[in-house]
Amino acid sequence: MDLITVTRKSDLEFSIHVRGRDVISDMSVEDGGRGAGFSPAELLAGSLGVCIAMMVQGYCDRTGYTEGDVGVNLTLELADDPKRVGAIVIDVELPDGFPEDRIDAVRRIAERCTIHETLHHPPRVDVDFV
């Protein structure tokens, strides 16, 4: 895997750098940031949405359901004690004409994406200070 580096730009705005590309993360104005980028929670949910969309789109492309593109809409529900993402509600839009009898199969595919599996089987996280 490639090294991911996070560096401060200003205030609560940080740059996430990997493979020569950057994404900006910042908190909303209401949360003390400038709103210059996605919050960490939004990045988490966005990663899940993209992972599901890629898996489902691949399935649709391989099986000939190509009348439109896959879309994913996510809503975050925050929780306290401890502060965290308490729920992510996901709506997957399928191409026109996608058959109802294939929904369970495509659900299993979506639930096997790397980010979904990671959320269900949390990784070990080691924090070191250098």
Q: What is the pLDDT of residue 34?
A: 96
Q: What is the pLDDT of residue 1?
A: 84
Task: Give the E-state strand segments of 50-125 in sequence order.
Answer: 71-79, 84-93
Please give the DSSP secondary-structure letter assigned to residue 31: G
Show the low-confidence residues of the chain (pLDDT under 50).
none
Of 84, 95, 91, which Cα lies nearest the Cα of 60?
Answer: 95
Strands of the sheet containing 21-25, edge to edge, are: 5-10, 13-18, 21-25
Q: What is the pLDDT of residue 81?
A: 95
Of 53, 83, 81, 82, which Cα lies nearest the Cα of 68?
Answer: 53
Measured CA to CA, the distance from residue 67 to residue 78 in angstroms comes to 35
Measured CA to CA, the distance from residue 72 to residue 54 in angstroms comes to 10
